[in-house]
Amino acid sequence: MHISKQEYARRRKALMNQMEPGSIAILPAAPVHIRNRDVEHVYRQDSDFQYLTGFPEPEAVAVLIPGREHGEYVLFCREKDPERELWDGYRAGQEGAVASYGADDAFPISDIDDILPGLIEGRERVYYAMGANQEFDMRLTSWIHTIRSKARMGAEPPKEFVALDHLLHDMRLYKSAAEVRVMQAAGDISAEAHVRAMQACRPGMYEYQLEAELQYTFMRHGSRSPAYSSIVAAGRNACILHYTENTSQIRDGDLVLIDAGCELDCYASDITRTFPANGRFTAEQRAIYDIVLQAQAAAFDVIGPGRDWNEAHDATVRVITAGLLELGLLRGELEELVVSGAYRPFYMHRAGHWLGMDVHDVGEYRVGGEWRVLEPGMVMTVEPGIYIAADNQDVPAKWRGIGIRIEDDVLVTREGHEILTGKVPREADEIEALMARARAAADLPA
C-alpha cells in the first residue's frame, strides 16, 4: 500500500500553482539523528519532504521552481557510491532520483553550494519553512548573503521569504483516496494489534509484554515502527496521559489502557482501548467506561461536512460532565459545571486532533478566529477519557486510580463520516466476550 509517483507529481504541481510568479520553494530532508555515540536512530523522512517527493533518503534537498525551462522539480541527493552502499545500503543516486522519484533534474548534494544559489538568484521570493531545521536555515541564509554581496555586479537576491508550511500544511489536511487507503490499512493493522493484546493479557504479565504483542503485529504486516511511543498503562498508570515507561506488572483487578498505532508508508494510525486485565470490569470500572463510550458516540454524531471542529469536543464534555454528576463525582447544576470547567480534573485534554503523516498532524484548527468547518477528506481522532487520580482525596476510594480512554480514527466523508479503526471492539460486553473466548481457547479458568 503506497502512494504513487504520479500522486507525488500532482502534489508538487498543486503547490506550485499556489506559489506567486517568480518564486522558488526549498525543502530539506530530515537530518540523521544520533541515538548514542556512533549509533543512529532509525531514519524517518521529514513529513513535508516526504509528502512532496516520496524520496526516503537523508542528505537531500528538494527545489521547486515554477516555470523553469529545464524542469521545475530539482532534487539534490547523495551520489551512487558502491563502497558506502556496501556499508549503509542502497542509494538512488541522480539517475534514480529522476527515473524512480520523478525529479526533472538531479544533482549531487555535495554540489549544492555551487548550484542552488544560482537557482535562487533572480527569484523574487523564497518559500521555505524557517525555523524547522536550524542548521539548514543558516545555510540558506548564507546563500542569500552570497547573492546579495554580488548585487553591484547585477545579481538579484530574493526580496521576500514566504512560509511554505502554511500552504503545504493546508494541502496535507485533505487526504486523497490513495492516502485514505494507506490510513485504512494502518488502522486495520493497529486494530488487529489491539485485539491481540486483549487476547494475550493476563494478570501477572508486564506492560512491556503487551507492547511486544503490539510491535509483533505491526511488523508482521509490514509496518516498520509505531507512529508514536506506545502507551501500555496498567492500573494507576492509566491516569498518566503520556505514560511510556511500560515496565509495571499488571495486577488482577487492574484496567489496562493501551494507546498505540502503527505507521505505514509514513502515515499514522492512533487507537486507544481500555480493558480489564482479568477479563471482567468491576462495577465502578464499568460505570466510568460506559460514560466515556457514550461521550465518544456523542462526538461521532456531530462529525460530518459542515459541522465545526469543536462540536465533537463540546459533545464529549457534556456527556462526561453529566455522567460524573450522576455518579456523584461532581455536584451542582449541569450547565454551570460545563461552563465552569468542573470536569477538567477528570478530563483535561481535547477530544481529538488531526491525523495524517504525523500523529498530531498539521492543519489549522481555527480559521479567521472561528473553529474550522469540517470537509470531506479530513481525518481526525476522537478520544474522550476520564482519569481519576489515585491520590484524589475528593472522591470515594472505590473510584480512585481508574483511568479510561477510548480513541478511534475518523474520516470526514461527503455523506458524514467513516470510522477507520472499527475492527477492534469498543463495547464493554464485546471486550469481555473477546477476552473470555481467548481464555477458553487457552484452557484457562474464567
- Indicate if 114 belongs to the active site: no
Residue 381 — φ and ψ, nearest 5°?
A: -95, 155
Residue appearing with cell numbers 456523584: 328
The residues, any chain, with a CB within 8 Å of residue 218's CB and separated by 6 or more, are: 189, 190, 193, 225, 226, 262
| Amino acid found at 91 | R
Residue 329 — φ and ψ, nearest 5°?
A: -80, -20
Long-range (24+ apart) CB contacts under 8 A made by 139-145 are 140/26, 143/113, 143/116, 143/117, 144/120
- Indicate if 313 belongs to the active site: no
Q: How far apart are CA 171 and CA 184, in angstroms?
A: 19
Among the listed residues 35, 37, 38, 90, the single catalytic one is 38
- Indicate if 41 belongs to the active site: no
Among the listed residues 44, 139, 307, 349, the single catalytic one is 349
- Indicate if 360 belongs to the active site: yes
Measured over the CA atoms of residue 176, residue 181, residue 186 and residue 188, the dihedral's sign is positive
Among the listed residues 192, 270, 408, 432, the single catalytic one is 270
The residues, any chain, with a CB within 8 Å of residue 175's CB and separated by 6 or more, are: 183, 356, 377, 378, 379, 411
Among the listed residues 57, 188, 259, 408, the single catalytic one is 259
Among the listed residues 353, 409, 417, 426, the single catalytic one is 353
- Indicate if 70 belongs to the active site: no
Among the listed residues 35, 152, 242, 331, the single catalytic one is 242
- Indicate if 417 belongs to the active site: no
- Indicate if 353 belongs to the active site: yes
- Indicate if 349 belongs to the active site: yes
- Indicate if 407 belongs to the active site: yes
- Indicate if 113 belongs to the active site: no
DSSP-assigned beta bridge partners for residue 373? 308
Cell digits of residue 368: 479567521
Among the listed residues 128, 387, 426, 432, the single catalytic one is 387
Among the listed residues 383, 408, 409, 432, the single catalytic one is 383
Among the listed residues 57, 407, 408, 409, the single catalytic one is 407
Residue 64 — φ and ψ, nearest 5°?
A: -115, 125
- Indicate if 430 belongs to the active site: no
Residues tagged active-site: 38, 242, 259, 270, 349, 353, 360, 383, 387, 405, 407
